[in-house]
Amino acid sequence: MNASFTIGSLLLDRLYKLGLHHIFGIPGDYVLTLFKLLEESPIRHIGTTREDCAGFAADAYARIHGIGGACVTYCVGGLNMVNAVACAYAERSPVVLLSGSPGLNERVNNPFLHHMVRDFSTQRDVFEKVTVASVVLDDPHTAEREIDRALQALLQYKRPIYLEIPRDLVLAPVSVASTEPPKASACQSDPAALKEAVAEVRGLLSGSERPVILAGAEIHRFGLHAELTQLVEHMHAPIATTLLGKSVIREDHPLYIGVYGGLVGREEILQFVEEADCLLTLGTLLTDVEDIKAHTTLLAAGRTVHATADSIAIKHHTYDGVRFEDFVRALAASPLPSFPARALPPRDSVRFDPPTPEASVTLRNVFGYLDGLLNDQTIVIADVGESLFAAADLRVRKSAEFLSPAYYTSMGFSVPAALGAGFADPTLRPLVLVGDGAFQMTGTELSSCIRYGQAPIIIVLNNRGYSTEREILEGPFNDIHEWQYERICDVLGGGMGHRVRTFGDLVQALNLAVADPQQAHVLNVYLDSNDRSTAMKRVAQRLAKRMAGQKT
Positive/negative CA dihedral, 288, 293, 299, 300: positive
Residue 185 lies in a domain: no
**Residue 152 sits in the same domain as residue 264:** no
Which tens digit of pLDDT belongs to each residue from 252-277? 899 999 988 757 778 888 889 888 99
Cα dihedral across residues 61, 6, 170, 161: positive or negative: positive
Q: Do 313 and 442 fall within a single domain? A: no
- Same structural domain, 105 and 203: no
Q: State whether the Cα torsion 307-313-314-318 is positive or negative.
A: positive
- Residue 509: closest CA among 497, 526, 527: 497
Q: What pLDDT, in 10s, does the model give residues 78-117?
A: 999 999 999 999 999 999 999 999 998 888 877 778 887 8
Residue 25: inside a domain: yes
Residues 209-235, mean pLDDT to the nearest whole number: 94
Considering the domain architecture, whether residues 172 and 29 belong to the same structural domain is answered as: yes
User: Given this model, what pLDDT does residue 289 score?
Assistant: 57
Instruction: Give yes or no for residue 459 having a pLDDT over 60.
Output: yes
Query: Could you give the maximum distance between any two Cα atoms of the chain, in Å?
Result: 76
pLDDT beyond 90 at 297: no
The verdict on residue 344 lying in a domain is no
N-term to C-term CA, the chain: 69
Residue 547 in domain: no
Taking the C-alpha atoms of residue 284 and residue 271, their distance in angstroms, rounded to an integer, is 19
State the CATH number of the domain containing residue 72: 3.40.50.970
Q: Is residue 356 part of a domain?
A: no
Same-domain status, 172 and 196: no
Per the domain annotation, does 169 fall within a domain? yes
In terms of domains, do 378 and 272 share one?
no
Look at residue 186 and tell me if it is in a domain: no
| 276 and 247 within one domain | yes
- Is residue 202's pLDDT more than 90? yes
Q: Does 91 lie in the same domain as 68?
A: yes
Residues 163 and 241 in one domain: no
Q: What is the mean pLDDT of residues 393-407?
A: 81
Residues 311 and 456 in one domain: no
Do 466 and 437 meet the contact criterion of CB atoms below 8 Å apart? Answer: yes
CA dist 509 and 438 (Å) reads 22
Predicted confidence (pLDDT) at residue 37 exceeds the cutoff of 70? yes
Of 5-14, 143-152, 477-486, the range with the lowest mean pLDDT is 477-486
User: Do 443 and 486 contact (CB within 8 A), yes or no?
Assistant: no
Cβ pair 45, 15 in contact under 8 A: no
Total domain count, the chain: 3
Same domain, 263 and 292: yes
Q: CA quadruple 300, 302, 305, 307: dihedral positive or negative?
A: positive
Task: Residue 206: count other Cβ atoms within 10 Å of its Cβ.
Answer: 10
Q: pLDDT tens for residues 401-441?
A: 899 998 888 999 999 999 999 999 999 999 999 999 999 99
Which candidate, 18, 13, 19, 14, places its Cα nearest to that of 423?
A: 19
pLDDT in tens, 518-543: 999 999 999 998 888 877 877 777 76
Burial 334-359 (b: 16+ CB within 10 A, else e): eebeeeeeeeebeeeeeeeeebeeee
Q: What is the 3-state secondary structure (H, E, C) of 20-61?
A: CCEEEECCCHHHHHHHHHHHHCCCEEEECCCHHHHHHHHHHH
What does the pLDDT read at residue 527?
94
Contact yes or no for 15/95 (Cβ under 8 A) = no
213: domain CATH number is 3.40.50.1220
Do 328 and 412 sit in the same domain of this protein? Answer: no
Residue 214 in any domain: the answer is: yes
Range of the domain at 420: 363-538
